Amino acid sequence: MGEAGALSLYAALLKGELEGDEALQASRHIFDLVMNSVHHAIWWKDVNSVYLGCNEKLAEYAGATTPADLIGKTDADCAWGPADVGRGGTGWYVDHDRMVVETGEPILGLREQVTTAQGRVMWVETNKVPLKDRDGNVIGTLGTFVDISERIEAESELKRTLEELDERVRDRTSELSRANETLQREVEERVRLEEQERIQLAQAEALRDSAAAIARSLQLDDVIEQVLRGVERLCPHHRSYVALYDNEGVLELAGQRYPGRPHEEWPEPHTRVPDLLGDLDGGSVDGSERDPISANGVVVLPLETADLRLGCLVVEPLPALDFTIENVDRLATIADQAASAISNSRSLLTTRSLAAVEERQRLANDLHDSVSQTLWTATLVAETLARSPDLDEQQRVQVDRLHTLADGALSEMRTLLLELRPSVIEETPLHDLVRQLVSAFSSRRNAECLIELGDPIELVPTVKVAIYRIVQESLNNIARHAQATEVAIRLSMRDDDLRMCVSDNGVGYDPEQPSDHLGLRIMAERAESIGAELEVMSRPGAGTEISLIVPAILGLPV
């Protein structure tokens, strides 16, 4: 019967036109038609995995002529089985059947590889469900599988393609990564070179500007300031300073700079600093020059011209940031420029000092030969007139006044000549210097002056000059501020110490009140310079007394 006849028969069965054996035969025929029309292999077994029936597709795979040939057999009786398990009755099929029977749960989508009776190995997708009676008891299994070899092959091909694609992507990504790394290194190197070029250009400009600024500076302070500014522009650092040797070979701080903190920790005048050059002098054992960097990373560069060492330039590094060789080379260039400029500045200062000394000497000679002689003559004339018996009382008073003024002017002139020729102060006895100061003071102020100088004392020049300047400043303060009518100056030796006292009966002042007495500070500094003790006592309305005590060992010449 063809398919059309089978469908007509099925329609008649549905309409109830067939009964009995005819209806049963029609149902079976329709069942066989459906079972054998699908591409799936279909079978059903009892609980012991014995075939109860199957379709033609399964019979074909199993090598049976008809589906009926498998009834009553198991898979072990067939010439087929899983591809990875040998023949000979192995129960490869039993496990899944027993699992379905025991659990009553289906197994769906099971992929396995089997070998047909014809020897073909294929991939199948298997489904097994339990068969139950009317009471729900499991009486067997119903299973199907379909050949999915082409699908598996397509999936494998797709997987291989994806893996190849992934491999290509990885290779390409690796190439791109390497190219990117190379490009990144090239960019970084270019940036580094550009930054290095920028730094070198900036440092070259700094060296050029510093050299020009240093060369333009004639004053020593300006030279040192320009040097430290140039160092600040050349390289980052914590602190830099210039120290110069004084006349006694002592290294003194001449200027320092803290980058970013220009007013921090300014040095006191003539502050002594350690001579770091001593640690770097002498060269190495083999005669080569030593590294100008000390153990703690500080750069110490000598400032010297020809064979004369003027001092040093010291640059302290930032924490954990050492100086490079290039930094040191550039700092050495600054040091060479600084040494030349400092030498020129000192030479200019010496030249100017000599010129000033010569000019003061010339002026002193002119004053001595002209004005001083004239005043001396005027003093003699006034003194001669004062002895004349022909003067009346009024004329005598005027002549005495003239004599006093002329004598005071002569004393002022002599004091001025001493200032123009400081060496004369060191050569003149202290008693004569004090009398000359008192004479000049008396000509300016109508005050009675008492002088008690005792026996002449031999003093070293520095002490003599300091005492002279303190007496001079004391009398100047009295003349300007004290309004005194009596002044006393006493000089004596007591307990092996030289004691000097200048007192007045003027208005005085309160030492506890803030004041700007520059003269007192100057006197204190002069006393400190010779190791003497200066004491100032005063109170309002009770005058002022200035006492100076000089240890004898400091005052007497060796």
**Cβ neighbours of residue 422 closer than 8 Å, sequence gap 6 or more:** 465
pLDDT per residue as tens digits for the range 186-207? 999 989 888 877 777 776 776 6
With beta carbons less than 8 A apart as the criterion, state whether 210 and 337 touch: yes
Q: What pLDDT score does 480 carry?
A: 81
pTM of the model: 0.40
**Does residue 399 carry a pLDDT above 50?**
yes
The 8-class DSSP code of residue 321 comes to: B
Angle at 34 between CA 28 and CA 40, to 5 degrees: 130
Q: What pLDDT score does 69 carry?
A: 92
In terms of Cβ atoms closer than 10 Å to its own Cβ (0-12, 13-18, 19+), residue 261 is exposed
Q: Is residue 126 part of a domain?
A: yes
Q: How many distinct structural domains can be found in the chain?
A: 2
Q: Is residue 95 part of a domain?
A: yes
Rounded CA separation 172/476 (Å): 97
Q: Specify the DSSP element, H or E, that contains 546.
A: strand 544-551
With beta carbons less than 8 A apart as the criterion, state whether 97 and 151 touch: no
**Does residue 402 carry a pLDDT above 90?**
no
pLDDT per residue as tens digits for the range 476-490? 888 888 888 889 999
Domain of residue 102, CATH code: 3.30.450.20
Domain that residue 496 falls in: 438-558
DSSP codes joined into one string, 288-310: PPPPSB-TTS-EEEEEEETTEEE
SS3 76: helix
Q: Quick one: tokens of 56?
A: 């033609």
Domain of residue 457, CATH code: 3.30.565.10
The 8-class DSSP code of residue 68 comes to: G
Q: Is residue 523 part of a domain?
A: yes
Q: Is residue 461 part of a domain?
A: yes
Instruction: Indicate the residue among 124, 147, 170 that finishes a domain.
Output: 147
Rounded CA separation 298/327 (Å): 12
Indicate the pLDDT class of residue 123, thresholds 50, 70 and 90.
Answer: very high
Q: Is residue 532 part of a domain?
A: yes
Instruction: Indicate the residue among 104, 126, 147 that finishes a domain.
Output: 147
Rounded CA separation 13/22 (Å): 9
pLDDT per residue as tens digits for the range 412-439? 666 665 555 556 677 788 888 888 888 7
SS3 6: helix
Q: Is residue 389 part of a domain?
A: no
At position 316, the amino acid (one-letter code) is: E
Instruction: Indicate the residue among 147, 181, 216 that finishes a domain.
Output: 147
